[in-house]
Amino acid sequence: MSRNFEATSLRDSLCASVASAEIGSRVTVCGWVAKRREHGEHLAFLDLRDRSGVLQAVVDGSVDVRNEYVVRITGTVSPRPEGTINDRLVTGSIELTECVVEVLATAEAPPFQLDDRIDIDEQVRLRHRFLDLRRVALQDNLRLRAKVNRSLRAAMDEQGFCEVETPLLWAPTPEGAREFVVPSRLHPGEFYVLPQSPQIAKQLLMVGGFDRYYQIARCLRDEDLRADRQFEFTQLDLEASFVSQEDILAFVSHAVLNAAEAATGVRPESISSMTWAEALDHYGTDKPDLRFEMTLQDLSAVFATTEVKAFGAPTVKAIKVSEGAAFTRSRLDQLTEQAKALGAKGLAWFRITPEGLDSPLARFLSGEEAAAVANVDGAQVGDLVLVVADEYVLACRVLGALRVALGSPPVSQGPHCYLWVTEFPMFDGVDDEGHLMAAHHPFTMPHADDLDLIETDPLKVRSQAYDLVLNGWELGSGSVRIHRADIQSRVFKALGVTDEEAQSRFGFLLGAFKYGAPPHAGFAFGIDRLVAIFAGEENIREVIAFPKTQSGSDLMTGAPKSITERQIRELRIKISPKGS
């Protein structure tokens, strides 16, 4: 007989399991009193809550327990009297009678009601996170997260990947995200940093012959927080040797589809893909939300010889907003402000009415131009057409942002549209000093066909970098890495990184590569974001047990806090006064 894992020294069953227990048997359960309903001197109902669900116990009115008391109840499993069955509960057809109630801990009235139907201010929830965690929503989300983690591990294991842990105390590599700094006590004046990702460690594992590595890794970045960004977040991080981009996409797809199946019960057939250039052209972003169409339409040809000054730009693009003709003038002004905030010179709008185009600009358009605007994306009467004329990339990005602002459904709605975005550009413009900036990171392999452009036309160089996108959220990214010193030095040169700088920043990696670096490639994607989308949550805080606020505070512990004088002395650090 297999062991009953539910039974412990204190109980022999979980609440929900009592539903299938034998009528008439005596069971002992433990949990919190979710609700007490009193019916006079000799009858009271207790809803007992544990991690499995809720169970009703019938007790004498003299039993002195209140909400959130921790109790142990031994009772007889009894069918409920006719007419008192509750269809909404798994345990709704039975109850515990002849109960012996033992109070394991008393409880004060909680600062908010632990009821999922009630909205509580997040500040209050975060201050008492341990109580919020008792509620069904967070219980479900964190259990979903555990299920996703389990399926990801299983998928990686199945594909021959070896789980390896890498250090949290790492060396500073001043590049990319701002790092969290940890002062060294034994080496005063010197510092560790917490890794923004295990990037270099995993490449060293490839040099170390591990061939296929993965880890569910915590990453830390000291950058401003957002709905989808916390200081610390969790990635499925992986790297493999003797592989191409296609191999990595296949490994990751298998893992993600496995997780999707575990989370939703349905395994998506495959993950579609498009190039970065296509994504920008059609959706105005490198993370398209494919749950809705509203694609960007190109009117550049029509407006190439336009007389309208506002449209005299290299690129003229438009989107159709269904039913948007009903937007008020102030709403349209608001959209225009939004477009300007994104860098556009302006935003042209055209209401499609039975009488034709309604817009301040309508009377300036030629017949051909007006016809083109009126037909954008098959526009009908009642629709709105938004037009941006500007440099190509800017026009795309502005309309892409408006597309999302006006069209994207809530996270909880619609299908899960997974998408690979490939062929990212190698370089991402130039910095203040006129040096090119790496779009992904400086170890990213350029596209084989574009190697010769590094010196001649670097902004045209495509890289072997790729992103995984789900419903408009960037889940993660990866690349084929440079394992050849000659290509690496050409990329460093393009980035304006001198040999000395390269040595001081990444010397240990470049040094390792001298001893036989296999061709390798990898990927990492955010589990917080993936689980949030599975859970239908707009915010990753809802899938994290103890998250921080947007200003990086932990309202429960009070972190960050000052440390003692003694700690400061030991670390040989000095706090300079505010404003200095």
Partner RNA sequence: GGACCUGUGGUGCAGCUCGGAGUGCACGCCGCCCUGUCAAGGCGGAGGUCGCGGGUUCAAAUCCCGUCAGGUCCGCCA
Interface with RNA, residue 221, by CB under 7 A: yes
Q: Which range in 11-19, 225-233, 262-270, 567-575 contacts RNA by CB under 7 A?
A: 225-233
Residue from 50, 179, 228, 286 that binds RNA (CB under 7 A)? Answer: 228
Q: Which helix (H) or strand (E) holds 212?
A: strand 212-220
Considering only residues 425-464, where is the footprint of RNA by CB under 7 A?
A: 428, 437-442
CA angle 55, 103, 128 (to 5 degrees): 75
Closest CB to RNA among 212 and 221?
221
Residues in 526-545 at the binding interface with RNA, rule: CB under 7 A:
538-539, 541
408 is an interface residue for RNA by CB under 7 A? no
Question: 């909680």: which residue's tokens?
Answer: 110
Q: How far is the CB of 91 from RNA (least distance, A)?
A: 9
- Shortest distance, CB of residue 409 to RNA, whole angstroms? 15
- In angstroms, give the least distance from the CB of 559 to RNA: 11
How far, in Å, are 47, 76, 135, 273 from residue 391 at the CA level? 64, 76, 50, 26
Q: Which residues of 167-185 are buried (b: 16+ CB within 10 A; e: fewer)?
A: eeebeebeeeeebbeebee
How far apart are alpha carbons 437 and 430 in whole angstroms?
6
For residue 373, the minimal CB distance to RNA (Å) is: 28
| 131 Cβ contact list (under 8 Å, min separation 6) | 110, 111, 112, 114
Q: Whole-number minimum distance, CB 542 to RNA, in Å?
A: 9
What is the nearest approach in angstroms of RNA to the Cβ of residue 521? Answer: 14
**Residue 80 near RNA by CB under 7 A:** yes
Of the candidate residues 2, 9, 22, 83, the single one contacting RNA (CB under 7 A): 83
Nearest distance in Å: CB 118, RNA: 6
Q: Does residue 28 belong to the site contacting RNA (CB under 7 A)?
A: no
Asked if 112 is part of the footprint of RNA (rule: CB under 7 A), the reply reads yes
Regarding 557 and contact with RNA (CB under 7 A), the answer is no
In whole angstroms, the minimum distance from the beta carbon of 256 to RNA comes to 20
Q: Does position 375 bind RNA by CB under 7 A? A: no
Residue number with CB closer to RNA (326 or 405) = 405
Number of chain positions touching RNA (CB under 7 A) = 71
Choices 13-21, 293-301, 302-310, 546-554 (CB under 7 A): range interacting with RNA: 546-554
Place of tokens 């990866």: 478
Helix, coil or strand: residue 88: coil
Residues 159-198 that bind RNA (CB under 7 A): 175-178, 196-197
- 16-21, Cβ contacts within 8 angstroms, sequence gap of 24 or more: 16/52, 16/53, 16/55, 16/90, 16/91, 17/52, 18/55, 18/77, 18/91, 18/94, 18/96, 19/90, 19/91, 19/93, 19/94, 21/77, 21/94
The whole-angstrom separation of Cα 324 and Cα 352 is 9
**Contacting RNA (CB under 7 A), which of 185, 226, 267, 569?**
226
Q: Which is nearer to RNA, 28 or 67 (CB)?
A: 67
Residue 448 has phi, psi (to 5 degrees) of -55, -35
> Which residue's CB is nearer to RNA, number 203 or number 297?
203
Q: Which of residues 487-526 bind RNA (CB under 7 A)?
A: none
- Asked if 67 is part of the footprint of RNA (rule: CB under 7 A), the reply reads yes
Residue 553 as a binder of RNA (CB under 7 A): the answer is: yes
Three-state SS annotation for 239-252: EEECCCHHHHHHHH
User: Is residue 341 a contact residue for RNA (CB under 7 A)?
Assistant: yes
Q: Which is nearer to RNA, 55 or 274 (CB)?
A: 55
Nearer to RNA, 268 or 552 (CB): 552
Please tell me the distance from the alpha carbon of residue 321 to that of residue 325, in angstroms, as a whole number: 8
CA distance 580 to 567: 22
Identified binder of RNA from the candidate list 3, 9, 22, 88, rule CB under 7 A: 88
Please identify, using beta-carbon distances, which residue of 171 and 266 lies nearer to RNA.
171
* Residue 120 Cβ vs RNA, minimum distance, rounded to whole Å: 5
- In terms of phi and psi (left: phi > 0; alpha: psi -120 to 50; beta: otherwise), the region of 159 is alpha
Please state the length of the chain: 580
- The nearest distance, CB 341 to RNA, in angstroms, is 6
Q: How far is CA 330 from CA 235, 327, 334, 335, 388, in A?
A: 42, 8, 6, 9, 19
DSSP 458: G
Q: Which is nearer to RNA, 260 or 544 (CB)?
A: 544
From residue 481, alpha-carbon distances to 199, 488, 489, 519 in Å are 11, 9, 13, 7
- Min dist CB 364 to RNA, Å, is 31
Which residue type does 208 have?
Answer: G
Closer to RNA at the Cβ: 294 or 438? 438
